[in-house]
Chain A
């Protein structure tokens, strides 16, 4: 039985429905993310799971027990779950050790001290027990908040954009660390974020949300390579669409010629389709007849992201290995090698 089941849940603020028909299952010990732009309802789902928002339709089951349904809600303090907030929310008048043991007031002093000690070691802050929150950096405060949240021993930890106030480097590192820490304690994690790299780096499953709906619930690999619809394809990773016409179930004619893929689509021959072209599908090939002008260039260290303009005016993105150094305005030869053929019908919205 999954640890957490969210079944057909709607949430409302006043008359506005901000979450539509959300369903998700999380197994014990898993680590999943809800990913989406701000205002898409991901935080609302998380707060409904925590018990801060009522559900308007559907139900939420935790450990097999219904904790939320219309007109029924188990208060957050009785759901036995931990939560980490965006702004750390440490108690400012308490030192680090007291913050961590705050949820352990019923235990003996010796046990509290032991827990604080071992958790501080776990989050890499041994020796900081007597510091106060304002004496710590953002990353350190968030580690303390994490330790505080898992101190009472919850089996589910909710994280609401926990790393968004940290710099990019720290964000990814802490994301992976958190997953290890949770795995070590057998705690299930749900992360809410707008940063796809953060979600991809840490999660086994990611739900992409848009306008209050979960559009696709899948592994990061599938989200990137096999998006279920155009919105997901647009939001995840970078990429551009090329218009074309279906010739065979696995081939289409585009402005740059024939593209053949490994996947078959059952639409009639001649259907107008858009093919998704990811930056890693466009490879440099000086021998190629297809030549494009470089209109933009972004150095990314190991790779360079070029924006290319096809002779017909359509733009493509391409990741070249770092030593393929060209200037904006240069003409380069490229070859299209889509690993998966991801097509959407041009005459349908999704």
Chain B
């Protein structure tokens, strides 16, 4: 081990203005001292006296190389005197390998403003794409409705089964629990005023008009919308969608329409089921804590829930179904390349599906209040 304190690396001027002398141990440990000395060197001297150099490693050789480059600086060769043979070899080796060591600077990422811009553009692209897709579906729909035989009825029945029947248990259970929660949380407040009986309005109206359609739609978006995205995405990766198209079959007609129709039938039915189970949950809770018996509940129910409320709730369901199926299929078709992309687009389909359902539900609320119904 060479002590850099004993043999400091030095670059010194000599009496002769054309000659520089270097001395000491030019090793990696002494680079710290060398840096400022190197920076102070200007072109001019054409001879380097290196006889006093007592050690050189690759780090030192690199420093020596940059010193020589500085001295040269576009002029002629610099003569190195007194450099020991093994040091000369090391210097030549470093010279030869220098080009291998060039490491590119990491590219500067885009700035905040640029990222905001890009994200906005992507978002607009996505929205425009979705609208265009819904437009395409509508056009295909019109053509298909003229030839209903071409509709794939078996697939529609299949969708009814997987998206509808299979979702009954989970939707039923959750609606039942929500009914209980609403009845309990609201009922406790009502009891303070002795207005226990109004729990019927509370449970049935919130469920029938808002909660049942939205909840059923959210669950279906998570269960079925994602499945659509994954199924079409996988077909896209396997080039099955391309294969379909070269066989003269429109993937919209083949893959999207049956799902769309199936879901538009299934979701209103699921919503009705959620209505029933949710109100039942409320009834159970009302009987257990609020002293409102089943008979009282049933007697009051038809008075407060008119057909109008019921239809408003059910009427939203096909719109939600359309959105969920369209977003799921659209994201499926956006899959590019590998299985990774399938996962990504599936996630996006769930998030967008739920988001759109809630936004459209809010829009419906505003519309209905404006229309006074």
Contact = CB atoms under 8 A, between A and B. Distances in A.
A and B: bona fide binding partners = yes
Interface of A: 50-52, 75-78, 80-83, 85, 87, 89, 91, 102-103, 105-106, 148-149, 152, 158
B248 A85 contact: no
A55 to B, nearest CB: 17
Interface string B172-201: 000000000000000000000000000000
Contact of B247 (A51, A75, A103, A158): A103
B239 A77 contact: no
20 contacts: A75-B245, A76-B242, A76-B245, A77-B245, A77-B248, A77-B249, A78-B248, A82-B247, A83-B242, A85-B242, A87-B238, A89-B243, A91-B243, A102-B247, A102-B249, A103-B248, A148-B243, A149-B247, A152-B247, A152-B248
Contacts of A83: 242-243, 246
A81 B238 contact: no
Interface of B: 150, 238-240, 242-250
Contacts of A81: 246
Contacts, number: 52
Contacts of B240: 89, 91
Please give me the 7 A-B residue pairs with the lowest Cβ-Cβ distance, nearest first: A103-B247, A83-B246, A76-B245, A89-B243, A77-B245, A89-B239, A85-B239
A72 to B, nearest CB: 16
A69 B238 CA distance: 27
Given A76-B246, A105-B150, 6 more contacts: A51-B245, A77-B246, A77-B250, A83-B246, A87-B238, A91-B240
A143 B238 CA distance: 18
B251 to A, nearest CB: 8
A256 to B, nearest CB: 34
B246 A149 contact: yes
A89 B248 contact: no
**Listed residue (B150, B243, B245) with the most chain A CB atoms within 10 angstroms of its CB:** B243
Contacts of A106: 150
A51 B250 CA distance: 13
Contacts of B243: 83, 85, 89, 91, 148
A76 B247 CA distance: 9
A149 B246 CA distance: 8
B247 A89 contact: no
A174 B285 CA distance: 72
A89 B239 CA distance: 6
Contacts of A52: 242, 245
Contacts of A158: 246
Nearest to A76: B245
Nearest to A85: B239
Contacts of B249: 77, 102-103, 105
Contacts of B245: 51-52, 75-77
A50 B247 contact: no
A85 B242 CA distance: 9
A89 B250 contact: no
Contacts of A77: 244-250
Contacts of A103: 247-249
A328 to B, nearest CB: 33
Nearest to B253: A77
A158 B239 CA distance: 14
A77 B252 CA distance: 11
**Listed residue (B244, B248, B249) with the most chain A CB atoms within 10 angstroms of its CB:** B248
A149 B150 CA distance: 21
A105 B244 CA distance: 12
B255 to A, nearest CB: 12
**Listed residue (B240, B244, B245, B246) with the most chain A CB atoms within 10 angstroms of its CB:** B246
B246 A50 contact: yes
Contacts of B250: 75, 77
B179 to A, nearest CB: 40
A76 B250 CA distance: 9
Contacts of A152: 247-248
A82 B243 CA distance: 9
B246 A87 contact: no
Contacts of B239: 85, 87, 89
B246 A82 contact: yes
A82 B239 CA distance: 14
Contacts of A85: 239, 242-243
Contacts of A75: 245, 250
A82 B249 CA distance: 12
A42 B279 CA distance: 63
Contact of B242 (A80, A89, A91, A148): A89
B238 A80 contact: no
A269 B250 CA distance: 64
A317 B249 CA distance: 52
Nearest to B242: A52
Contacts of B242: 50, 52, 76, 83, 85, 89
Contacts of A105: 150, 249
Nearest to B238: A89
Contacts of B248: 77-78, 80, 103, 152
A23 to B, nearest CB: 23
B100 to A, nearest CB: 26
A158 B248 CA distance: 14
B247 A148 contact: yes
Nearest to B250: A77
Contacts of B246: 50, 76-77, 81-83, 149, 158
A105 B253 CA distance: 13
A217 B132 CA distance: 40
Contacts of B150: 105-106
A149 B249 CA distance: 12
Contacts of A91: 240, 243
Nearest to A52: B242
A306 B246 CA distance: 47
B256 to A, nearest CB: 13
A278 B238 CA distance: 41
Nearest to B240: A89
Nearest to B246: A83
B250 to A, nearest CB: 5
A106 B150 CA distance: 8
Contacts of A87: 238-239
Contacts of B238: 87, 89
A98 to B, nearest CB: 12
A49 to B, nearest CB: 11
B149 to A, nearest CB: 9
